[in-house]
């Protein structure tokens, strides 16, 4: 249990340290003079950018949520808003019809007209019934158009937001992934985009526009009918607005704090579930549950405050609403007794203002404002990654068209950006001639795998240089350099697709995939063709999530085939046999020897047996 605790404490510590500045390379961002952009607690060194952490907005602007909208989206939004106004006018217009209907009833009931004139009553009331029918049909049409326009726009924006966010993730460098929690990045792509999409749909701005149209038109109608009663009923509106705005501001502030308070618990859960086999073997599930519940205590406290604030504000709103109804009926009774107002006017004014106040205070606007605030918060968490990706320096080095394969490490020093105080490689020099097979053998933590990652430019050395064909790789276009390097890792990555598609992923040019014959030739070199043909669908067999239908040895041989299908001049193998059983190591070793034939090969291994056929071995 102590080991797991120490590992988590170390992970938390690493996530809070400064990274090495990508501009000066020899200092951390806390000590160099280059600016740092902070996004939600993650610091990235950027050149020529100065953003104070206090200036980072708490929410994205609502307009930013529609940053990917085209002219058709804008046209649909405009049409949808027009339909929202139409929907909002529907009920106030019905109160006008109510006034006329009650005036007719009043003539027959209050003024004691004889009911023998029923045909006249029907004739007088029938047009108003038709008016209500027309209003209902028009409301049906405008509501459908409104919903369709806004929901289509929201879905289109959410799709583009996801695509741009995913594209931004792929542009981040490996050091940035060392600092970021990938579970958090995936959550942003799923949960946060959904929240942003809800704030762009018909339940947000269209509700506010419709409610405002209802309120304003209701006020106008009420003042035209009977301004004195309207003035009394509207006297509490400023108080209602103040309570509503205060509630939204306070609740949203607590919502942000609750979201941040959940993060420590989410990180604990992610790390524990990732190590579920270890946790189960140690029998510490109850301990982990207690550890998970500790940060939730603060969440509970903040949630109670949020709920209490919302409950108090709701109670005040209902008190003011019902109090205003009482005062309105008392005053209207006085006016009716004085014969200064009719029952029809009372119904007209009362419903026009009551509905307006209800949608304003407790109906559509408060929930819509909360959805918009949540969408803006979610938008910030998505757009911060997208914006940062735009600041990542372009890969503008010299395009590599051909490689002979001569590699030189010259006095290389390296420290991982997340652990700047711990040297990993110090003063390392090595020359590998073209076509030579060199193995580096060492213990865990000696930096041997780091050399492979430096060659692939996943990281940048703080001092020294790495040359390919006598050219510093920092001057080369990283993507084009990697097209000439085959890379095999100790944990083979197998995608959830067919064997053929998995091998084709290693193509030098993704737009020109290898032919089936080229894939089969690569698999034969990797000693994978035989077992592939034994699969039910051969090369068209789907290997399952992460290659679950294959053994580790089979996964590794497919990874070797994928590395050599593009015919690279340089081959890098990082611990290719470490996870294999004794009876599997020999066949993978033969696959490695075939793959290394005629190529400059760098083998990094924990075991000397993996380097037995190397020209030179470094320890």
Question: pLDDT band at 538, cuts 50/70/90?
Answer: very high
Residue 119 vs residue 546, higher pLDDT: 546
pLDDT tens, position by position, 408-463: 999 999 998 878 888 889 999 999 999 999 988 888 778 888 999 999 998 889 99
| Same domain, yes or no: 542 and 588 | yes
Q: Is the pLDDT of residue 11 over 60?
A: no
Buried b (16+ CB within 10 A) or exposed e, 120-149: ebeebeeebeebeeebeeebeebbebbbeb
Top mean pLDDT of 66-80, 232-246, 381-395, 487-501 is at 66-80
Question: pLDDT band at 257, cuts 50/70/90?
Answer: confident
Residue 609: strand pairing partners: none
Segment 194-213 shows an average pLDDT of 90
| Same domain, yes or no: 18 and 92 | no
Residue 295 vs residue 42, higher pLDDT: 295
Strands across the sheet containing 471-472 = 423-432, 407-415, 463-468, 471-472
Which of 3, 56, 48 lies closest to 22, judged by CA? 48
Contact present, 264 and 295 (Cβ < 8 Å): yes
Place of tokens 């929930």: 367
| Same domain, yes or no: 310 and 440 | no
Q: How far apart are CA 200 and CA 136, in angstroms?
A: 26
Tokens matching residue 592: 């490695």
Which of 502, 496, 492, 487 lies closest to 579, judged by CA? 492
Q: Give me the phi and psi of 91, to 5 degrees please.
A: -70, -45
Residue 515 vs residue 242, higher pLDDT: 515
pLDDT tens, position by position, 148-170: 999 999 999 999 999 999 998 88
Stretch (H or E) spanning 311: helix 285-337
Q: Is the pLDDT of residue 391 over 70?
A: yes
Tell me what pLDDT residue 22 has.
Answer: 35
Segment 450-479 shows an average pLDDT of 91
| Same domain, yes or no: 147 and 225 | yes
Tokens matching residue 380: 């910030």
| Same domain, yes or no: 147 and 179 | yes
Angle at 302 between CA 300 and CA 304, to 5 degrees: 70
Residue ending a domain, choose from 55, 75, 100: 55
pLDDT tens, position by position, 292-344: 888 887 777 787 887 888 788 888 888 887 888 888 888 888 888 888 887 77
| Same domain, yes or no: 518 and 469 | yes
Please indicate, yes or no, if residue 400 is contained in any of the structural domains.
no
Place of tokens 């193509």: 507
Give the three-state DSSP class for 409.
strand
Stretch (H or E) spanning 467: strand 463-468
| Same domain, yes or no: 14 and 110 | no
Please indicate, yes or no, if residue 149 is contained in any of the structural domains.
yes
Question: pLDDT band at 109, cuts 50/70/90?
Answer: low
Please indicate, yes or no, if residue 508 is contained in any of the structural domains.
yes
Please indicate, yes or no, if residue 302 is contained in any of the structural domains.
yes
Please indicate, yes or no, if residue 396 is contained in any of the structural domains.
no
| Same domain, yes or no: 354 and 316 | yes
What total of structural domains would you count in the chain? Answer: 3
Which of 389, 65, 57 lies closest to 256, judged by CA? 57
Residue ending a domain, choose from 391, 426, 456: 391
Residue 50 vs residue 314, higher pLDDT: 314
Tokens matching residue 3: 């080991």
Per the prediction, the chain carries an average pLDDT of 80
Please indicate, yes or no, if residue 278 is contained in any of the structural domains.
yes
Question: pLDDT band at 359, cuts 50/70/90?
Answer: low
Residue 574: strand pairing partners: 604
| Same domain, yes or no: 130 and 277 | yes
Please indicate, yes or no, if residue 352 is contained in any of the structural domains.
yes
Please indicate, yes or no, if residue 563 is contained in any of the structural domains.
yes
- pTM of the model as a whole: 0.68
| pLDDT more than 70, % of the chain | 84
Strands across the sheet containing 616-618 = 485-488, 570-574, 600-605, 437-441, 616-618
Q: How far apart are CA 17 and CA 175, in angstroms?
A: 13
Residue 41 vs residue 460, higher pLDDT: 460
Tokens matching residue 45: 């060194």
Residue ending a domain, choose from 366, 391, 416: 391
Tell me what pLDDT residue 59 has.
Answer: 67
| Same domain, yes or no: 317 and 448 | no
- Domain span at residue 465? 407-618
Q: Is the pLDDT of residue 528 over 60?
A: yes
Question: pLDDT band at 363, cuts 50/70/90?
Answer: low
| Same domain, yes or no: 486 and 363 | no
Tokens matching residue 425: 């490689």
Segment 271-283 shows an average pLDDT of 74
Question: pLDDT band at 111, cuts 50/70/90?
Answer: low
| Same domain, yes or no: 468 and 561 | yes
> Rounded to a whole number, what is the distance in angstroms from the first to the last CA of the chain?
34
Stretch (H or E) spanning 468: strand 463-468
pLDDT tens, position by position, 124-135: 778 888 998 999
CATH number at residue 341: 1.20.1560.10
């Amino acid at each position: 249990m102590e080991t797991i605790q120490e590992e988590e404490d170390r992970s938390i510590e690493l996530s809070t340290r400064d990274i090495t500045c990508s501009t000066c390379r020899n200092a951390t961002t806390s000590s160099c003079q280059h600016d740092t952009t902070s996004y939600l607690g993650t610091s990235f060194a950027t050149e020529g950018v100065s953003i104070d952490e206090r200036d980072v907005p708490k929410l994205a602007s609502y307009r930013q949520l529609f940053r990917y909208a085209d002219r058709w989206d804008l046209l649909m939004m405009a049409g949808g808003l027009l339909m929202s106004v139409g929907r909002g006018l529907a009920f106030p217009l019905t109160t006008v019809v109510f006034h006329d209907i009650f005036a007719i009833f009043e003539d027959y009931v209050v003024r004691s007209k004889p009911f023998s004139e029923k045909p006249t009553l029907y004739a007088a009331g029938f047009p108003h019934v038709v008016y209500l029918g027309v209003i209902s049909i028009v409301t049906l049409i405008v509501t459908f158009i409104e919903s369709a326009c806004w929901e289509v726009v929201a879905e289109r924006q959410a799709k583009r937001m996801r695509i741009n966010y995913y594209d931004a993730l792929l542009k981040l460098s490996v050091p940035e992934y060392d600092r970021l929690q990938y579970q958090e990045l995936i959550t942003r792509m799923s949960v946060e985009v959904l929240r942003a999409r809800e704030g762009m749909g018909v339940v947000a701005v269209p509700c506010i526009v419709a409610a405002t149209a209802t309120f304003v038109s209701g006020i106008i109608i009420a003042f035209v009918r009977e301004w004195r009663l309207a003035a009394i009923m509207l006297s509490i509106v400023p108080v209602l607005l103040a309570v509503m705005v205060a509630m939204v501001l306070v609740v949203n502030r607590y919502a942000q704090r609750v979201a941040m308070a959940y993060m420590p618990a989410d990180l604990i859960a992610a790390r524990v579930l990732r190590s579920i086999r270890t946790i189960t073997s140690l029998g510490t599930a109850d301990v982990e549950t207690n550890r998970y519940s500790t940060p939730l205590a603060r969440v509970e406290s903040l949630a109670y405050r949020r709920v209490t604030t919302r409950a108090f504000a709701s109670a005040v709103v209902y008190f003011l609403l019902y109090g205003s109804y009482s005062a309105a009926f008392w005053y209207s009774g006085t006016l009716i007794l004085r014969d200064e107002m009719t029952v029809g006017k009372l119904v007209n004014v009362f419903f026009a203002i009551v509905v307006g106040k209800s949608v304003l205070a407790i109906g559509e606007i408060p929930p819509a404002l909360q959805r918009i605030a949540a969408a803006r918060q979610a938008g910030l968490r998505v757009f911060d990654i997208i914006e940062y990706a735009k600041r990542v320096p372009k890969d503008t080095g010299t395009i590599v068209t051909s490689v002979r394969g001569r590699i030189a490490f010259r006095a290389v020093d390296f420290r991982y950006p997340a652990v700047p105080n711990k040297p990993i490689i110090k003063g390392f020099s090595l020359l590998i001639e073209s076509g030579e097979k060199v193995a580096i053998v060492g213990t865990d933590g000696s930096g041997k795998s780091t050399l492979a990652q430096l060659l692939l430019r996943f990281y940048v050395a703080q001092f020294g240089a790495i040359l390919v064909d006598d050219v510093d790789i920092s001057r080369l276009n990283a993507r084009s350099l990697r097209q000439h390097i085959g890379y095999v890792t100790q944990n083979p990555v197998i995608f959830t697709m067919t064997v053929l598609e998995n091998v084709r992923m290693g193509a030098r040019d993704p737009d020109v995939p290898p032919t089936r014959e080229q894939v089969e030739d690569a698999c034969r070199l990797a000693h994978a063709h035989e077992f592939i043909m034994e699969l039910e669908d051969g090369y068209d067999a789907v290997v399952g999530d992460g290659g679950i239908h294959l053994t580790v040895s089979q996964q590794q041989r497919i990874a070797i085939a994928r590395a050599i299908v593009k015919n690279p001049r340089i081959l890098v193998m990082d611990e290719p046999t470490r996870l294999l059983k004794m009876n599997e190591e020999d066949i993978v070793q033969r696959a490695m020897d075939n793959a290394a034939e005629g190529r400059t090969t760098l083998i990094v291994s924990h075991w000397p047996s993996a380097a037995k056929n190397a020209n030179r071995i470094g320890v």
